[in-house]
Amino acid sequence: MSIAPFATHEVFNQTPPVGDMNLWADDMALQGAVRAFGKPAKEIEASLAAFGKRWGSFAMAENARLANENPPKLKTYDAKGFRADVVEFHPAYHSLMHQAVADGIHSSVWAADGKFVPGEFVARAARHYMAAEVEQGHECPITMTHAATGALLAEPSLMKEWLPRIRSREYDSAFKPASEKKGVTLGMGMTEKQGGSDVRANTTRAEPDGDGYRITGHKWFFSAPMCDAFLVLAQAKGGLTCFLMPRFSPDGSVNALRLRRLKDKLGNRSNASSEVEFESAYARRCGAEGEGVKTIIGMVQLTRLDCVTGSLGIMRGALLQAIHHARHRTVFQKKLIDQPLMRAVLSDLALEREGALALGLRLASAFEHGESDSNEAAFARLVTPAAKLWVCKATPGFVYEALECLGGNGYVEEGPLARLYREAPLNAIWEGSGNIMGLDLLRGVGREQEGAERVLAKLAKDTAGLPGAREAVTHIQKGFTDPDREILARRTSETLSLLAAAAALAVSAPPVIAEAFAAHRLAGLAGRNYGDPIGGPLADVLIDRAFAEAA
């Protein structure tokens, strides 16, 4: 007996799945920025293209979905009542970690001698950005491993012991001492209940014990607690000090890190963010006693850059979905992409992303060249907090607008937009929230006034003739020196970012894009919704550079 199909309607005009993509090949703005600011080498481009294909596959998108739909679970005790303090992750999370480590996002900038691998910084930033288009939670331990190495430089004996493990391209999720593992990951604990921005208020204590210290206290946010070691700040006799706390003690027993809870978070669900107490946990000093802030800044600056590239990835992940939808959805007898007002929205989003991306990769190149060039070091010092403030804070509004481009389909959990939307605010919060970034810019200016003047003079030169650039320079100068500069700090940071973005675009993108960015961002109105009137061929250029259709 056959059963007649029961169909009330035909399904049509729904967008096809994006499917397999190449996150390098279909992102022309990315290619321009890497060519402009990275080492222009064919082999790097070939490796980025292979990376883009790997990470743009449907299988990776599925890993991202599954890792977030099946968040990690804390096992405080084992079945017999012994303390376990372990977190279990879904296999999809391990797949993402495995691929990120194999691709070196956690360590590729570090040479065996602890210096930067020449030409690798921008390529690695591009990889971090592409991976962030796919999934952000796993990037927490990946970034931390990359960045913590910057703090380990303060303690050569730790560097000697840990760098070879960090540089391994094998992801080893086994819960055992680092010395027995094929590869390691690192996390960090600074934030306590009474304060995160003001780390000097930390109450966690450190007492010397043999070759190390015993740490007692707590951390209120302690992400990726299955890492093999953590940079931890604690009060020693000489003041706030940085320590490296391994997950296992030297005798092979589990170190006394007691995981109390996992946070129930807005987003970033694939990543476990714990609350932890240290019950006389073993740790080794990293840097001198009392120099905890100075030491850990070696890590913090690198993570701030990753906050920028991570947010850029979120923007791009959302933008490509919006463009894809608009290319396939018909409304009022026309494809959405051919509706003038939707084109204005999409091209305005694309313009924002162009500027932010060029700025992010320009900044990555300053990190690398800052090792030997004081102007680049000054650029990195000033522009890092400014760019973190602007790019990370722009991301939620950006994703929201991209989400709305999909209409109701943007708001449901089956698509990636809802996850990207929940993820979007995080990079602005951690590693120094918005106000802290504004204040940090002023601190940088105060400490290196001459360097700041040189950075601004160079930006003025690089943007000469672009609309609004001269006024922006004046605005920034006032923001650096005004008696009320503290309350101007957000505006100053944003304007500095926009100016630096225009300067970066002048190098990495066709002149028409740098011109448009300056016209719509420096000379244009600030604090409004997307949809600046961009039309004609410029809209085509912007949209195609954001997501090349033929790829």
Query: Does 430 participate in binding ligand FAD (rule CB under 6 A)?
Result: yes
Nearer CB in complex with ligand FAD: 225/416: 225
Query: Does 190 participate in binding ligand FAD (rule CB under 6 A)?
Result: yes
Query: At its nearest, how many Å lie between ligand FAD and the CB of residue 203?
Result: 13
Query: At its nearest, how many Å lie between ligand FAD and the CB of residue 151?
Result: 13
Q: How far is CA 72 from CA 75, 86, 499, in A?
A: 10, 10, 41
Nearer CB in complex with ligand FAD: 219/325: 219
Query: Does 255 participate in binding ligand FAD (rule CB under 6 A)?
Result: no
Query: Does 191 participate in binding ligand FAD (rule CB under 6 A)?
Result: yes
Judge contact between 303 and 144, C-beta under 8 A.
yes
Binds ligand FAD (CB under 6 A): choice among 30, 147, 436, 534: 436
Nearest of 251, 252, 259 to residue 278 by alpha carbon = 259
Query: At its nearest, how many Å lie between ligand FAD and the CB of residue 429?
Result: 5
Of 140-179, binders to ligand FAD (CB under 6 A) are none
Binds ligand FAD (CB under 6 A): choice among 205, 265, 327, 478: 265
Alpha carbon distance 164, 498 (integer Å): 39
Query: Does 71 participate in binding ligand FAD (rule CB under 6 A)?
Result: no
Class of residue 501 by CB neighbours under 10 A (exposed 0-12, middle 13-18, buried 19+): buried
Query: Does 93 participate in binding ligand FAD (rule CB under 6 A)?
Result: no
Binds ligand FAD (CB under 6 A): choice among 429, 507, 519, 551: 429
Nearer CB in complex with ligand FAD: 273/347: 273
Amino acid identity at 261: R
Of 104-112, 207-215, 425-433, 538-546, which segment contacts ligand FAD by CB under 6 A? 425-433
Query: At its nearest, how many Å lie between ligand FAD and the CB of residue 446?
Result: 15
Nearer CB in complex with ligand FAD: 33/276: 276
Amino acid identity at 170: E
Binds ligand FAD (CB under 6 A): choice among 47, 168, 433, 477: 433
Alpha carbon distance 459, 264 (integer Å): 43
Select the residue whose beta carbon is closest to ligand FAD and give its number.
196
Query: At its nearest, how many Å lie between ligand FAD and the CB of residue 32?
Result: 33
Binds ligand FAD (CB under 6 A): choice among 31, 99, 202, 223: 223
Query: Does 244 participate in binding ligand FAD (rule CB under 6 A)?
Result: no
Nearer CB in complex with ligand FAD: 198/371: 198
In our burial notation (b when 16+ CB lie closer than 10 A, e otherwise), range 516-525 reads bbbbbbbebe
Owner of token pair 């791009």: 316
Query: Does 268 participate in binding ligand FAD (rule CB under 6 A)?
Result: yes
Of 111-130, binders to ligand FAD (CB under 6 A) are none
Binds ligand FAD (CB under 6 A): choice among 24, 162, 221, 398: 221
Query: At its nearest, how many Å lie between ligand FAD and the CB of residue 428?
Result: 9
**Number of C-alpha atoms within 13 angstroms, CB side, residue 107?**
24
Query: Does 301 participate in binding ligand FAD (rule CB under 6 A)?
Result: no
Nearer CB in complex with ligand FAD: 405/442: 442
Nearer CB in complex with ligand FAD: 436/534: 436
**What is the CB neighbour count within 10 angstroms for residue 529?**
11
Of 38-46, 92-100, 109-117, 422-430, which segment contacts ligand FAD by CB under 6 A? 422-430
Query: Does 196 participate in binding ligand FAD (rule CB under 6 A)?
Result: yes
Q: Which residues contact 548 (CB under 8 A, 6 or more apart)?
A: 25, 26, 27, 28
Beta strand 334-335 with 205-209: parallel, antiparallel or unpaired? unpaired
Query: Does 303 participate in binding ligand FAD (rule CB under 6 A)?
Result: no
Of 74-82, 192-200, 287-295, 401-409, which segment contacts ligand FAD by CB under 6 A? 192-200
Query: Does 434 participate in binding ligand FAD (rule CB under 6 A)?
Result: yes
Q: In this structure, what DSSP letter does residue 136 have? A: S
Of 30-38, 91-99, 353-361, 430-438, which segment contacts ligand FAD by CB under 6 A? 430-438
Query: Does 195 participate in binding ligand FAD (rule CB under 6 A)?
Result: yes
Of 78-86, 186-194, 290-298, 406-414, which segment contacts ligand FAD by CB under 6 A? 186-194
Query: Does 425 participate in binding ligand FAD (rule CB under 6 A)?
Result: no
Output the six-digit token pair for 121.
Answer: 């910084």
DSSP readout, 174-231?
Answer: --S-GGGSS---EEEE--BTTBSS-GGG---EEEEETTEEEEEEEEEEEE-TTSSEEE
Binds ligand FAD (CB under 6 A): choice among 377, 435, 478, 519: 435
DSSP readout, 41-96?
Answer: -HHHHHHHHHHHHHHTSHHHHHHHHHHHHS--EEEEE-TTS-EEEEEE--HHHHHH
Amino acid identity at 382: L
Binds ligand FAD (CB under 6 A): choice among 173, 179, 197, 474: 197
The H or E element containing residue 285 is: strand 273-285
Query: Does 273 participate in binding ligand FAD (rule CB under 6 A)?
Result: yes
Q: In this structure, what DSSP letter does residue 549 have? A: T
Nearer CB in complex with ligand FAD: 162/221: 221
Judge contact between 220 and 196, C-beta under 8 A.
yes
Alpha carbon distance 85, 427 (integer Å): 27
Alpha carbon distance 444, 463 (integer Å): 22
Nearest of 70, 187, 64 to residue 136 by alpha carbon = 64
Three-state DSSP at 263 gives coil
Alpha carbon distance 324, 403 (integer Å): 12
- Alpha carbon dihedral 449, 305, 417, 271, in 10-degree steps, equals -130
**Number of C-alpha atoms within 13 angstroms, CB side, residue 81?**
0
Query: Does 427 participate in binding ligand FAD (rule CB under 6 A)?
Result: no
Owner of token pair 């995080």: 426
Residues interacting with ligand FAD, by CB under 6 A? Answer: 187-191, 195-198, 221-223, 265, 268, 273, 426, 429-430, 433-436
